[in-house]
Amino acid sequence: MSITSEKTAEAGFRIRDQAFAGRKPEPGLYLVATPIGNLGDITLRALEIIAGADRLACEDTRVTATLLSRYGIKRRMFAYHEHNAEESGAALLADLQAGLSVALVSDAGTPLVSDPGFRLVGQAIEAGIPVIPIPGASAVLSALLASGLPSDAFFFAGFPPQKQGARRARLEELTRIPGTIVLFEAPHRIADSLADMAMVFGAERQAAVCRELTKTFETIYRGPLSQLAADFADMERVRGEIVVCIAPPAAEAAASEADADTILTGLMAEMKPAKAAQEAARLTGLSRRDLYARALQLKTPG
């Protein structure tokens, strides 16, 4: 579907009482970061691209309409989300191949972070179409900054699985990460997730739960995972967007293979291998899964 008849080159935007003329960008796919809450967290370049691109693709036209209204941008929007990505992606790619400019925005924050935009980016790159990032707000980086945890190395893990077994298995994989871990979580699952995190990472591992970042009721909860799990278990209802940051394992907690064997052997004198592995993981910062496998080997040598 072509939109060459839409006169987006004449579009503009307003900031308070001042009007700004639009600027049609060069052909290409523009990945435009939008505010994660506070609508003031938008860049001038982002407004220019949103107002001037030949096509504006967004996750939810109702959400993006609020942003457009705030800045006096009147233009047509096209829905592009996980449920229509195949059909809408093909239409967007056709327009890109025809030499048009496409601005892609998510509901909040930077596109491609936990949304289907990466598929369109891959197709555009394969077709030789320029892909241009327009940086701005990011819930991941905002939470990391506010957490007070080390930021020199971090790993974004998206949303953990919804079911407890799969969630614990995924968290177990993350115990190997030598940096701060950043995850998203739904408010109705945060208490259960924090309980699983305390069990897998260790009750005393420091963490931060960042809720409603940049919004009116922004709140940052900091402390050991066990305390955060208890605090959220006592809350009647949790609302809002949530980002969890978990500190990397303490340097002194890293144990050698020989140390781990000694710890496991001592623990298995009083408890079963599974329980011994769980306790050894808490003491050493090593993977509980790896420790359990080693515990079974130590129990049946040879």
Ranges of each domain in the chain: 8-137, 140-249, 253-299
Digit-by-digit pLDDT tens for the chain (302 residues) are 444 434 444 579 999 989 998 788 999 999 999 999 999 999 999 999 999 999 999 989 999 999 999 999 999 999 998 888 888 999 999 999 999 999 999 888 888 766 678 889 999 999 999 999 999 999 999 999 999 999 999 999 999 999 999 999 999 999 889 899 999 999 999 999 999 999 999 999 999 999 999 999 999 999 999 999 999 999 989 999 999 999 998 754 445 667 788 888 889 888 899 998 888 877 776 778 888 888 888 887 65
Query: Given CA atoms 211, 213, 215, 221 in this order, what sign does their dihedral have?
Result: positive
Which sign does the torsion angle of CA 107, 113, 117, 121 carry?
positive
Helix or strand or coil: residue 254? coil
CATH superfamily of this structure's domain 140-249: Tetrapyrrole methylase, C-terminal domain (3.30.950.10)
Q: Which of 55, 61, 128 is nearest to 92 (CA)?
A: 55
The CATH number of 8-137 is: 3.40.1010.10
C-beta neighbour count of 268 within 10 angstroms: 17
> Cα–chain-centroid distance for residue 295?
35
Cα-based distances in Å from 240 to 186, 191, 211, 216, 287: 8, 14, 6, 11, 32
* Model pTM score: 0.78
Instruction: Tell me if 8-137 shares its fold with 140-249.
Output: no
